[in-house]
A and B are shown apart, each in its own frame.
Chain A
């Protein structure tokens, strides 16, 4: 594999189920060694995309490649290099968790001795009892089985579809740790989620998908530049100097002891200019918060939520 071949390369992907268009020209690229977040609410087309990548669903149009190989034709060869964890894990109810893990890992070639040690470690970290029958597991425990099976082998690409939706915060932290470890070893990760903090913690790049199209894509930093930072400051001077600036939005002022408390949003490209004005106003205290992913998300989905509320 040449170093520049993307781990995941999707261009102009279309997929319809009857009259419903699940994907409508999606583009998505994950470079080698990158951890890519794939964000969108339920029904946006995340799982459909992943199932196409796994060769389970057949795309109507567009290309989908893993390591340069065709996801449909070369599925078996490609799957030797990937690990997958679905959002809703279903296991064989009459097998124990340990048996499910062993069966799933044995479908992939690999050394047994190394796996045994690694399995013990993963079971310990995820606090999973492998002797219980799968039918007795909760959603979270079934997810742990899939996660242990996925991390048991070193893969070139990990595909996670909302992997922590049934896990508690402690287990989520363990997942984050292993995802970072995979990244450190040079693997690529595609993490589909609607939990923004999870994506923010581990991802280098983010693609936001809506109605089957990528509406925003780039590194977290790049995306942040598109938006505003919020500034809260206590000043001694007259805040009216701020209201004249074009880069300042939603200015609020209130009396705070001897000084004035000002709160406003500022376009990221103009932070320096606004700061100059601000320092002239006798600053007592200052906090600048970068935009969270949530705000980014709300920019694309705010109207959806508002219309939902209006109903």
Chain B
């Protein structure tokens, strides 16, 4: 037997990427459901928007009405730089109004995916096991990037195919726009790779990356708002990656060169990420980890205080987001806009169907419905946080103290309910009213009454989620199916002509369309009774089952 150790194989520069392909396949496998759901949803949105536009605005005249509407500040902020308004084709409409949303959604997907597979893995300690194998230092980062590149390419290709076939849009412009949206999405993936080097926690990295996305949206919006008549964006707009895709003028007067800005930014961010990564240790961070108070404040003395502490950050962001959104939408409501909406409805029977006889109150009804849906989504998501409290073992140590199950559960639900109430009434109804004030004096009462009408339905969502969690925590995802059904039938119900028995599955359907239609007292009582029964059932179930279930 030889006494010599086997010779060390020669090092190659590619060593630090060893195992990249292997990890990529693993990530695609692990996240196959999550990635498929995201991609299919985005594609559905893509296809839905383009077909809906063709249905609602079949003639050039109809579209011109929409073009006038797009000059409103809120439209500019939530839309784009308004290329092609003088000949507002379906393509121009799509590029102007959808680009921002597609980039934002794709960006969020990419950020979550990247952080989930890099920083969060490192934080959990799983990456340590992987790295101890024959896996290079940069393999996880490269693989996570490769994963989102693959998904974004799939999105761009299928999205282009959908737009060309379903929307009958120009091939080159479609391809350019979809590619640019995908590359912009990659810009935010690269941002997340950089923020992952800065903090030790997945949540912190995601938060920072989301902040960058938020600032990008804001900067683009403010920049475009400052543009004078006939101008499309200002120098400020160009600071935002979102503008680069919008400024390609797809379907109007296509230019390719702004895409180069996105590509270069991706490369620069990757280089920056690699540089930062080389400056830190495994599981280390460049920003110091958070330290805080050694002593808890007086608030943290009861389950109620704890529930507030755990939910307040989420509530704050939901509040801010919905307030800005509904405040901006509210500016459509008022004397001046009324004629415009009326013209639109008069010219188009489909739009008239969605807005009803009086377009303005119809619009208000739809907006309050959106606010209620946002509040319901919040109520469901926040109620379900009880589940992670239980599965991660924190509920166990709380209940080992002299705290009854009902007390803990009630504390959690009270804070959820207060949050949902605030979101419906203040950042929903009241924000719409504040926005409407821009156009002159408006009655606040209609807005508050409209918001209040939805409260029992929001309560049904919360109580049903609580009951499902209390009895069979495993099947709680079902609630999201009901929520999706409610959103779709709530927004587009009038277009489907569904039988009442089917529409009635949605708690929102029972509320009706105030102020277009009067509020039915019997429906309000019925919804409240259902919520109450479900809530009682939730407490009964939670008191008798095993924890953890």
Binding site for B on A (CB under 8 A): 51, 54-58, 75-77, 79-80, 82, 84, 86, 88-96, 98-99, 101-104, 106-109, 130-133, 135-136, 146
In the complex, are the beta carbons of A106 and B393 less than 8 A apart?
Answer: no
Say which one of B166-174, B400-408, B432-440 lies at the interface with A: B400-408
In the complex, are the beta carbons of A107 and B401 less than 8 A apart?
Answer: yes
A107: min CB distance to chain B, Å: 4
In the complex, are the beta carbons of B394 and A79 less than 8 A apart?
Answer: no
In the complex, are the beta carbons of B291 and A56 less than 8 A apart?
Answer: no
Q: Say yes or no: A57-B546 contact (C-beta < 8 A), given A106-B300, A133-B291.
A: yes
B294 at the interface (CB under 8 A from A): yes
B29 at the interface (CB under 8 A from A): no
Q: Which 9 A-B pairs have the closest CB atoms?
A: A102-B296, A90-B393, A107-B401, A98-B294, A84-B400, A99-B296, A130-B294, A79-B402, A96-B292
Q: Say yes or no: A99-B292 contact (C-beta < 8 A), given A76-B403, A79-B402, A92-B310.
A: yes
11 contacts between A and B (CB under 8 A): A54-B400, A56-B400, A56-B548, A58-B545, A94-B310, A99-B293, A104-B397, A107-B401, A130-B294, A133-B289, A135-B201
In the complex, are the beta carbons of B402 and A107 less than 8 A apart?
Answer: yes
Alpha-carbon gap, A2 to B544, bound state (A): 31
Question: Which chain A residues lie closer than 8 Å to B289 at the CB level?
Answer: 132-133, 136
A21: min CB distance to chain B, Å: 15
In the complex, are the beta carbons of A107 and B396 less than 8 A apart?
Answer: no
B222 at the interface (CB under 8 A from A): no
A307: min CB distance to chain B, Å: 28
B301 at the interface (CB under 8 A from A): yes
CB contact between A131 and one of B200, B293, B393, B399 (< 8 Å): that residue: B293
A133: min CB distance to chain B, Å: 5
In the complex, are the beta carbons of B397 and A57 less than 8 A apart?
Answer: no
Question: Which chain A residues lie closer than 8 Å to B404 at the CB level?
Answer: 75-76
Alpha-carbon gap, A136 to B289, bound state (A): 8
Alpha-carbon gap, A243 to B119, bound state (A): 67
Q: Which of B383-413 contact A (CB under 8 A)?
A: 392-394, 396-404
B522 at the interface (CB under 8 A from A): no
Question: Which chain B residues lie closer than 8 Å to A55 at the CB level?
Answer: 399
Alpha-carbon gap, A56 to B310, bound state (A): 23
CB contact between B296 and one of A84, A103, A132, A136 (< 8 Å): that residue: A103
In the complex, are the beta carbons of B300 and A98 less than 8 A apart?
Answer: no
B476: min CB distance to chain A, Å: 20
Alpha-carbon gap, A99 to B544, bound state (A): 30
Alpha-carbon gap, A227 to B123, bound state (A): 48
Question: Which chain B residues lie closer than 8 Å to A57 at the CB level?
Answer: 546-547
Question: Which chain B residues lie closer than 8 Å to A91 at the CB level?
Answer: 394
Binding site for A on B (CB under 8 A): 123, 200-201, 203, 289-296, 300-303, 306, 309-310, 313, 392-394, 396-404, 544-548
A128: min CB distance to chain B, Å: 10
A58: min CB distance to chain B, Å: 6
A237: min CB distance to chain B, Å: 49
In the complex, are the beta carbons of B293 and A76 less than 8 A apart?
Answer: no
Question: Which chain B residues lie closer than 8 Å to A96 at the CB level?
Answer: 291-294
Q: Say yes or no: A146-B397 contact (C-beta < 8 A), given A57-B546, A58-B546, A76-B404.
A: yes
In the complex, are the beta carbons of B397 and A84 less than 8 A apart?
Answer: yes
Question: Which chain B residues lie closer than 8 Å to A82 at the CB level?
Answer: 400
In the complex, are the beta carbons of B546 and A103 less than 8 A apart?
Answer: no
Alpha-carbon gap, A130 to B296, bound state (A): 10
Alpha-carbon gap, A55 to B399, bound state (A): 8
Question: Which chain B residues lie closer than 8 Å to A102 at the CB level?
Answer: 295-296, 300
Alpha-carbon gap, A96 to B400, bound state (A): 20
In the complex, are the beta carbons of A98 and B296 less than 8 A apart?
Answer: yes
Q: Say yes or no: A76-B402 contact (C-beta < 8 A), given A58-B544, A131-B293.
A: yes
Question: Could you say which of B123, B293, B398 has the most chain A C-beta atoms within 10 Å of its C-beta?
Answer: B293
In the complex, are the beta carbons of A133 and B290 less than 8 A apart?
Answer: yes
For B123, the closest partner residue in chain A by CB is A135
For A109, the closest partner residue in chain B by CB is B402
Q: Say yes or no: A77-B300 contact (C-beta < 8 A), given A90-B394, A96-B293, A133-B291.
A: no
A205: min CB distance to chain B, Å: 23
In the complex, are the beta carbons of B397 and A89 less than 8 A apart?
Answer: yes
In the complex, are the beta carbons of B291 and A131 less than 8 A apart?
Answer: yes
CB contact between A89 and one of B290, B301, B393 (< 8 Å): that residue: B393
Alpha-carbon gap, A99 to B282, bound state (A): 28
Alpha-carbon gap, A75 to B408, bound state (A): 14
